[in-house]
Amino acid sequence: MITMKRSSIALLTSLSALSISSTLAQEDQFSTVITPAFSPITWERLVDARNEPENWLMYSGTLDSQRYSLLDQINVDNVDQLEMKWAYQIPVIDRAETVPLVVDGIMFITEAPSNVVAVDARTGREYWRYDHEMPDDLRICCGRNNRGVAILGETLFMSTLDAHLVAIDARTGNLLWDTEVARHDAGYSKTAAPLIVKDKVVTGIAGAEFGIRGFIDAYDPETGERVWRTYTIPGPGEFGNDTWSDDSWRTGGASTWITGSYDAELNQIYWGTGNPGPDWNGDVRLGDNLYSDSVLALDGDTGAIEWHFQFTPHDVHDYDAIQVPILADLEINGEQVPAMMWANRNGFYYTLNRATGQFLFGKPFASVTWAEGLDPVTGRPIRVAGMAPTYEGIMVSPPIVGATNWYSPAYSQDTELFYVTSFDGEQEFFKRDEDYEEGERFTGGGGRYTQPMDAFHSSIRAINPKTADIEWEFPIMPRSSAGITTTAGGLVLTGSADGYFFALDAESGRELWNISLGARVHAAPMTFAIDGEQFVTVASGNVVYTFGLRD
Amino acid sequence: MRRTHPLRSPGRRLIRSLTAVAATAGLLAAGLATLPQVAAEDAGNLYNTDVDIRMGQRYFERQCSRCHGFDAKGNDEVGAPDLTGSLRNASTDASIFNVIREGVSGTAMLPVAADVPDPTVWQLVAFINSLRYDPNSVTLEGDADSGLALFNGRAECNSCHMVDGRGGRLGPDLSRIGEDNTPEDLMLAMTNPHEQVAPRWWTLRVTGSDGIEREGFRMGEDSFGVRIMDVDENLWSFRKSEIESYERIEDSTMPSYEGRLSDDELDDLVAYLFSLRREVQPQ
């Protein structure tokens, strides 16, 4: 037994320390090295999350999803002084796509397949863990991963691969409730972090490769009961149902597998939707296929659709609009505009008016061959003829993985630039005839590269959201799936496919610092502070690393 | 995990049925024994008498316990599972036999030596089966509904324990406590809480360099740090280098209910606790 019994000597010193502490209050401050965790997270705190930058309270940092932190202790001048403070190894080997939350010194990390661990954010050492019990008949299209939790009060909310939503006590890891969102054996699954909107947990669904009908749901955080569900494909009699030929709307996909954003003043939830199903064979679903590949604005209380904007009508290339909507108020041509910035998987960048859904302008931010441009009034793509997948295959850019994808872009309030991980690639698309069978893959084709990946060009691009012009780019090796975070320290923080974590100057794109972590960065970095000391955290491979300035 | 201990007070009339279950199992075995035994694919264990079970146990203690534990409750470190609940890889006698004979490839679970005769393997199967029983066939003296009322009412168990997301944080979540505990285990947990305290529920008393003492449940203790939850449910993390000292108290903070609650009330609580299992979802 290695019990450390308190010796009488230790007792004496501590008592004397106590007696002088009142007279030496100043020194006492330094000896009190810790503060307890944590105080409950109210909705007001979530709305005002930017103003407590020591915490990272939701997947995208703030409800506007800018991923812009006010912390500036680590900045352009000293970022090269970063050193590793700790690493947390995820026990189940898979790829980590987690963006951890930090709440008053506690970090919540999600793990594959659907587990969550609470660690001390200063040391990375565990308080508790929750291992989700998984059925053995899972259908998973794209890896066993989990991107993060949401917090409200003292409860964490997590999506699970078996298409459940679970509530977990943030202090103990106890399971509070476990709600089936959809049937996993019909192909549904869940990987994205939920979004708290007032007193509800809003969450999406994955599974468009299995011919599901997508939706966005809201749940009661206390009971786990569903409050509303908004289908992303209109039913019979509803507006837009006639944009699907025959019964194709039933298996039309339009999943919602990334986290959305919220505007408290407009009381609107914004959420991107995925591709129509089957992905590459549009013959069986003629029409625009609303609301696939769209952004939906939902009423923050009822989930009713207030407006929609479809980026890619009748998509046959798997160009999901599964991107995180970034919201900011921009001055465009002398006018204050409630804007939404969106770099789409289809290769175009868009600035929309988020109050109305009106298209303002847009242009390609990466290589695009399937469309010539966007209609200047409606924003609808002007297609190049003959670019739909054929039985033999046809070369199209962007490839299936897209000009960008689900990985978070970011915005900086200082530079007023929008940053996105982009890929200039091309691929042969082909189609197949396929019948729908519940729980089976339903894609109708696929793609193949005819060149090695290293032949393509990848970069971090900084886009001016007032003009859609590219201001600078920083080339990296293909094909990155890392998200981006910006800070008031003038930094753009991101990672690469070849395992680097690095910092760029947000103004110029100049390289400031990099470190090889040895495995692909699949996640977005985040930043937080404890007792005034700033840290940055990023997952690479199967490990979560935390960096801080050299002591 | 709590080990099964013989009941302290021999007169307690907690359980009617465990012996009844054993008797049924014996009958069943007798019935099966009339079937010809062909191969491991055909269910039916000829070696299932009390003597076989004891032989199986002896062999288990020698050859298997270093991984699965003497109580067969498993060992997280080597990943050896608890064999007293429902098994993952083996649902029938024959499949348990096969796991022991063939091992689980790619894991530490190796096959038994080839020269171990089949009857010995069947005795192991009989022993493993004797550790398990069908909870639904257990009839208890107490009344689960009265137990529930006590739990959330006068006995105030819920001030420390959660069940299905309601209750306190100063004790383990009991939502599924009936799954891997016998009624005897549960009775002992209430009457003799100090007997077995999981390390998660030890108390650490930390004296900071500021001289202030903070005490709480041991959420983590490692080479360089300790982490606790105090009675106000605050989480604290300390580096050992930054504290004066700390003390570990391995007693339970749960009071003993022996004498505090009547035998009937304890029986009711056992019935309630034993009913706390995850419902199997109808497919």
Round to whole Å and give the CA distance between B128 and B122.
Answer: 10
User: Do both B269 and B164 map to the same domain?
Assistant: yes
User: Do both B117 and B219 map to the same domain?
Assistant: no
Q: How far is CA A245 from the centre of its chain?
A: 32
Indicate the number of domains in chain B.
3
Q: What does the longest C-alpha to C-alpha distance in chain B come to? A: 75
- Is residue B228 within 8 A of residue B204, CB to CB? The reply is yes
Whether the ω angle into residue A262 lies within 30 degrees of 0, i.e. cis, is no
Q: What are the tokens at A394?
A: 């046809």
Q: What are the tokens at B48?
A: 């299932």
Chain A nearest CA to B165, separation (Å): 4
Round to whole Å and give the CA distance between A169 and A157.
Answer: 9
Number of helices (H), then strands (E), in chain B: 8, 7
Residue B2 DSSP one-character state? P
The pLDDT confidence band at residue A139, using thresholds 50, 70 and 90, is: low
* Residue A29, H or E segment: helix A25-31
* Residue A262, H or E segment: strand A261-263
Q: For residue B228, is it within any domain?
A: yes
Round to whole Å and give the CA distance between B27 and A450.
Answer: 69
- Is residue B85 within 8 A of residue B132, CB to CB? The reply is yes
User: Do both B207 and B109 map to the same domain?
Assistant: no
Round to whole Å and give the CA distance between A193 and A115.
Answer: 13
> Which CATH number belongs to the domain containing residue B210 in this structure?
2.30.30.100
Per-residue confidence (pLDDT) for residue A16, from 0 to 100: 32
Nearest chain B residue (CA) to A121: B237
pLDDT in tens, A463-517: 999 999 999 999 999 999 999 999 999 999 999 999 999 999 999 999 999 999 9
Per-residue confidence (pLDDT) for residue A281, from 0 to 100: 87
Averaged pLDDT, A366-394: 96
Per-residue confidence (pLDDT) for residue A94, from 0 to 100: 81
Round to whole Å and give the CA distance between A134 and A111.
Answer: 13
Per the listing, tokens 């980590």 go with A96
Residue B262 DSSP one-character state? -
Which amino acid, one-letter code, is at A387?
M
Please count the residue pairs, one from chain A and one from chain B, whose beta carbons lie less than 8 angstroms apart.
111
Round to whole Å and give the CA distance between A317 and A276.
Answer: 10
Averaged pLDDT, B96-125: 92
Instruction: Please classify residue B137 by burial: count the beta carbons closer than 10 Å to its beta carbon, then call 0-12 exposed, 13-18 middle and 19+ buried.
Output: exposed
Angle of CA points A39, A44, A47, to nearest 5°: 115
The pLDDT confidence band at residue B17, using thresholds 50, 70 and 90, is: very low
Chain B nearest CA to A218, separation (Å): 20
Angle of CA points A43, A47, A48, to nearest 5°: 115
Nearest chain A residue (CA) to B233: A171
Q: For residue B93, is it within any domain?
A: yes
Q: For residue B66, is it within any domain?
A: yes
Round to whole Å and give the CA distance between A303 and A298.
Answer: 5
Per the listing, tokens 């799954």 go with B179
**CB-closest option in B175, B224, B235 to A106:** B235
Instruction: Look at residue B76 and tell me whether its pLDDT is greater than 90.
Output: no
Mean pLDDT of the residues in chain A: 90
Q: Where are the alpha helices (DSSP H) in chain B?
A: 17-33, 50-63, 65-68, 93-102, 118-130, 144-152, 183-191, 263-274
Q: For residue B148, is it within any domain?
A: yes
In terms of residue numbers, what domain contains B234? 199-249
User: Do both B142 and B270 map to the same domain?
Assistant: yes
User: Do both B154 and B261 map to the same domain?
Assistant: yes
Round to whole Å and give the CA distance between A513 and A528.
Answer: 19
Residue A2 to residues A10, A153, A468, B198, B246, Cα–Cα distance (Å): 17, 38, 64, 16, 11
Give this prediction's pTM: 0.83
Instruction: Please classify residue B57 by burial: count the beta carbons closer than 10 Å to its beta carbon, then call 0-12 exposed, 13-18 middle and 19+ buried.
Output: buried
Instruction: Look at residue B112 and tell me whether its pLDDT is greater than 70.
Output: yes
Round to whole Å and give the CA distance between B100 and B87.
Answer: 13
Instruction: Look at residue B214 and tell me whether its pLDDT is greater than 50.
Output: yes
Stretch 116-155 of chain A: residues touching chain B, C-beta under 8 Å: 118, 120, 122-123, 125-128
DSSP assignment of A100-138, as one string?
-EEETTEEEEEETTTEEEEEETTT--EEEEE-----S--
Which amino acid, one-letter code, is at A56?
W
Averaged pLDDT, A289-298: 97
The pLDDT confidence band at residue A34, using thresholds 50, 70 and 90, is: low
| Contact yes or no for A13 and B244 at CB 8 A | yes
Q: For residue B118, is it within any domain?
A: yes
pLDDT in tens, A297-338: 999 999 999 999 999 999 999 999 999 999 999 999 999 999
User: Do both B76 and B120 map to the same domain?
Assistant: yes
Per-residue confidence (pLDDT) for residue A437, from 0 to 100: 73
| Contact yes or no for B209 and A31 at CB 8 A | yes
Residues of A in contact with B175 (CB under 8 A): 174-175
Residue B218 to residues B129, B203, B214, B241, Cα–Cα distance (Å): 35, 6, 12, 18
pLDDT in tens, A382-403: 999 999 999 999 999 999 999 9
| Contact yes or no for A125 and B237 at CB 8 A | yes
Per-residue confidence (pLDDT) for residue A19, from 0 to 100: 32
Touching check for B135 and chain A: CB below 8 Å? Answer: no
Q: Which of A109-123, B127-141, B172-186, B263-277 comes out lowest in average pLDDT?
A: B127-141
- Select from A218, A157, A219, A161 the least CA-distant residue to A187: A161
Touching check for B169 and chain A: CB below 8 Å? Answer: yes
Instruction: Look at residue A24 and tell me whether its pLDDT is greater than 50.
Output: no
DSSP-assigned beta bridge partners for residue B75: B80
Averaged pLDDT, A191-218: 90
- Select from A300, A325, A318, A311 the least CA-distant residue to A216: A300
- Select from B158, B161, B203, B185 the least CA-distant residue to B84: B185
Phi, psi (degrees; rounded to nearest 5) at B233: 70, 20
* B259 Cβ contact list (under 8 Å, min separation 6): none
Q: How far is CA A326 from the centre of its chain?
A: 11
Instruction: Look at residue B97 and tell me whether its pLDDT is greater than 80.
Output: yes
DSSP assignment of A307-340, as one string?
EEEESSTT-SS-----S--EEEEEEETTEEEEEE
The residues of A carrying an active-site annotation are 318
Chain B nearest CA to A159, separation (Å): 18
- Select from A480, A478, A474, A475 the least CA-distant residue to A522: A480
| Contact yes or no for A120 and B169 at CB 8 A | no
pLDDT in tens, B120-179: 999 999 999 888 767 777 889 999 999 999 999 999 999 999 999 999 999 999 999 998
Residue B184 to residues A372, A398, B138, Cα–Cα distance (Å): 75, 65, 12
Per-residue confidence (pLDDT) for residue B281, from 0 to 100: 40
The domain covering A35-68+82-549 belongs, at the CATH homologous superfamily level, to Quinoprotein alcohol dehydrogenase-like superfamily (2.140.10.10)
Per-residue confidence (pLDDT) for residue B16, from 0 to 100: 37
Which amino acid, one-letter code, is at B68?
H
Residue A347 DSSP one-character state? S
* Residue A448, H or E segment: strand A445-448
Per-residue confidence (pLDDT) for residue A140, from 0 to 100: 57
For residue A373, is it left (φ>0), alpha (ψ between -120 and 50) or beta?
Answer: left
Q: What are the tokens at A269?
A: 């939830």
Chain A nearest CA to B211, separation (Å): 4
Number of helices (H), then strands (E), in chain A: 3, 38
Averaged pLDDT, A41-70: 97
Which amino acid, one-letter code, is at A447?
G
Per-residue confidence (pLDDT) for residue A184, from 0 to 100: 86
Whether the ω angle into residue A313 lies within 30 degrees of 0, i.e. cis, is no
Instruction: Output A339 or A210, whichever has higher pLDDT.
Output: A339
Averaged pLDDT, A514-530: 96
> Which CATH number belongs to the domain containing residue B97 in this structure?
1.10.760.10
Round to whole Å and give the CA distance between B168 and B231.
Answer: 10
Residue A550 to residues A74, A78, A80, A83, A493, Cα–Cα distance (Å): 11, 10, 10, 6, 18
Q: Is B154 helix (H, G, I), strand (E, B) or coil?
A: coil
- ipTM of predicted complex: 0.84
Instruction: Look at residue A435 and tell me whether its pLDDT is greater than 90.
Output: no
- Is residue B215 within 8 A of residue B230, CB to CB? The reply is yes
| Contact yes or no for B242 and A127 at CB 8 A | no
Percent of chain A residues topping a pLDDT of 90: 80
Task: Say what angle helices B50-63 and B118-130 make with each other, to 10 degrees.
Answer: 100
Residues of B in contact with A125 (CB under 8 A): 220, 222, 225, 227, 237
User: Do both B231 and B120 map to the same domain?
Assistant: no
pLDDT in tens, B241-262: 999 999 999 999 999 999 999 9
Mean pLDDT of the residues in chain B: 82
Q: What are the tokens at A524?
A: 């977005």
- Select from A64, A33, A30, A26 the least CA-distant residue to A48: A64
* A169 Cβ contact list (under 8 Å, min separation 6): A154, A155, A156, A175, A176, B162, B165, B169
Round to whole Å and give the CA distance between A297 and A82.
Answer: 40
Per-residue confidence (pLDDT) for residue A10, from 0 to 100: 34
Q: What are the tokens at A376?
A: 């200047």
> How many residues are present in chain B?
283
Instruction: Look at residue B5 and tell me whether its pLDDT is greater than 80.
Output: no
Chain B nearest CA to A223, separation (Å): 9
DSSP-assigned beta bridge partners for residue B238: B226
User: Do both B177 and B260 map to the same domain?
Assistant: yes
The pLDDT confidence band at residue A76, using thresholds 50, 70 and 90, is: very high
Q: For residue B9, is it within any domain?
A: no
Residues of B in contact with A120 (CB under 8 A): 225, 227, 237
| A23, A27, A31, A125, best to mutate vs chain B, most B CBs in 10 Å | A125
Of these ranges, A173-187, A505-519, B176-190, the one predicted with the greatest mean pLDDT is: A505-519
The pLDDT confidence band at residue B228, using thresholds 50, 70 and 90, is: very high
Q: Which of A11-20, A191-200, B15-24, B174-183 comes out lowest in average pLDDT?
A: A11-20
Delimit the domains of chain A by residue range: 1-34, 35-68+82-549
Q: What does R_g of chain B's alpha carbons equal in angstroms?
A: 22
Per-residue confidence (pLDDT) for residue A14, from 0 to 100: 35
Per-residue confidence (pLDDT) for residue A137, from 0 to 100: 67
Q: What are the tokens at A357?
A: 């859904």
For B231, half-sphere exposure in the C-beta direction (CA atoms, 13 angstrom radius) is: 7
